[in-house]
């Protein structure tokens, strides 16, 4: 089984499998992220977007032609043998019940954010807060998207100080891994402090 050179430090003995969910608004790069980081051929449930959703499924990139209709699934083995099972959520708020189901048993959530529409991220963050699942916010860098300082981002997203914020490119495996490792370390921190 492949293993990363990147390290997740101080793994408690016995931690071997972790379920995490990748969330975020429509078109922020969730499917791309899982496709980039997965060591297995990912399960992808994208289907063509039709005129029926034209008025409700709005996003910054109007050239996108498919959308996730159920979930994405991938797997990544990190250094130390920890196996991360990645579930990608659909982006439309009307699938909130589906996302709640995906969050069942999840140890963490990675919220991808496109700075062209920060407000669209609230839904994902609320679902995670409601489910009591710790999360990391990852700004997925798009070419035409505005750059904001961390202070402005935290303020705009009302992101609590204890929630990590990272920048990544969902198309680049090394960059994508920074988000995953930050999340796993955040999940494991309380376990380490009680070890
Ligand atoms: N520039 C840039 N484009 C990206 C990045 N990540 C994804 N894309 C592109 O953005 C588009 C949307 O990506 P998807 O991965 O389908 O987004 P999604 O969040 O899964 O979308 P839904 O399932 O419809 O909610 C695709 O055309 C990607 O090629 C990124 O980091 N930078
Ligand atoms: Mg998708």
State yes or no: pLDDT of 2 exceeds 60: no
Residue 189's pLDDT is what? 83
Which residue do the tokens 């407000």 mark? 119
Band the pLDDT of 4: cuts 50, 70, 90: low
Pocket test for ligand 1, best of 21, 23, 32, 174 (most atoms within 8 A of CB): 32
Which residue do the tokens 């994208």 mark? 46
**pLDDT, tens digit, for every residue of 46-68?**
999 876 666 667 666 667 789 99
Distance (Å, whole) CA 99 – CA 56: 18
CA quadruple 153, 112, 55, 62: dihedral positive or negative? positive
State yes or no: pLDDT of 6 exceeds 70: no
* Residues in the 5 Å CB sphere of ion ligand 2: 30-31, 68
Determine, yes or no, domain membership for 101: yes
| Residues 112 and 22 sit within 8 Å (Cβ to Cβ) | yes
Determine, yes or no, domain membership for 7: no
C-beta 68 within 6 A of ligand 1: yes
Alpha carbon of 30 to ligand 1 centroid (Å):
7
**pLDDT, tens digit, for every residue of 64-108?**
789 999 999 999 999 878 899 999 999 999 999 999 999 999 999
- Domain range for 181 is 17-193
Residue 111's pLDDT is what? 98
CA-closest residue to ligand 1 atom 7:
29
Determine, yes or no, domain membership for 173: yes
Q: What is the mean pLDDT of residues 14-34?
A: 93
Q: Is 38 exposed, middle or buried (0-12, 13-18, 19+ CB in 10 A)?
A: buried
We report the CATH number of the domain holding residue 140 as 3.40.50.300
State yes or no: pLDDT of 5 exceeds 60: no
DSSP H or E stretch at residue 88: strand 83-88
CA-based nearest residue to 28, from 106, 124, 103? 124
Determine, yes or no, domain membership for 8: no
Determine, yes or no, domain membership for 36: yes
C-beta 123 within 6 A of ligand 1: no
Buried b (16+ CB within 10 A) or exposed e, 102-141: bbeebbbbbbbbbbebbebbebbbebbeebebbbbbbbbb
Determine, yes or no, domain membership for 86: yes
Band the pLDDT of 190: cuts 50, 70, 90: confident
Provide, rounded to the nearest whole percent, the portion of the chain with pLDDT above 70: 84
Band the pLDDT of 3: cuts 50, 70, 90: very low
Distance (Å, whole) CA 135 – CA 107: 9
C-beta 31 within 6 A of ligand 1: yes
C-beta 28 within 6 A of ligand 1: yes
Total domains present in the chain: 1
Distance (Å, whole) CA 111 – CA 179: 10
| Residues 10 and 188 sit within 8 Å (Cβ to Cβ) | yes
In this structure, the strands spanning 135-140 and 83-88 are unpaired
Determine, yes or no, domain membership for 2: no
Atom number of ligand 1 nearest to Cα 46: 23
What's the pTM value of the predicted model, to 2 decimals?
Answer: 0.90
Distance (Å, whole) CA 43 – CA 90: 13
């Amino acid at each position: 089984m492949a293993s990363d050179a990147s390290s997740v430090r101080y793994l408690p003995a016995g931690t071997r499998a972790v379920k995490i969910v990748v969330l975020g608004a429509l078109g922020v790069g969730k499917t791309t992220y899982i496709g980039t980081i997965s060591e297995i051929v990912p399960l992808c449930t994208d289907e063509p977007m039709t005129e029926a959703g034209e008025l409700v499924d709005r996003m910054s990139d109007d050239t996108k032609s498919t959308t996730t209709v159920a979930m994405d699934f991938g797997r990544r083995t990190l250094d130390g043998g920890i196996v991360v099972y990645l579930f990608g959520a659909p982006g439309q708020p009307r699938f909130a019940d589906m996302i709640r189901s995906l969050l069942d048993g999840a140890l963490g959530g990675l919220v991808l954010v496109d700075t062209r529409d920060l407000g669209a991220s609230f839904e994902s963050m609320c679902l995670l807060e409601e489910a009591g699942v710790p999360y990391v916010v990852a700004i997925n860098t798009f070419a035409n998207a505005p750059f904001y300082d961390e202070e402005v981002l935290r303020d705009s997203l009302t992101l609590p100080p204890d929630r990590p914020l990272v920048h990544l490119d969902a198309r680049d495996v090394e960059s994508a891994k920074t988000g995953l490792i930050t999340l796993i370390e955040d999940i494991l921190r309380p376990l380490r402090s009680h070890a």
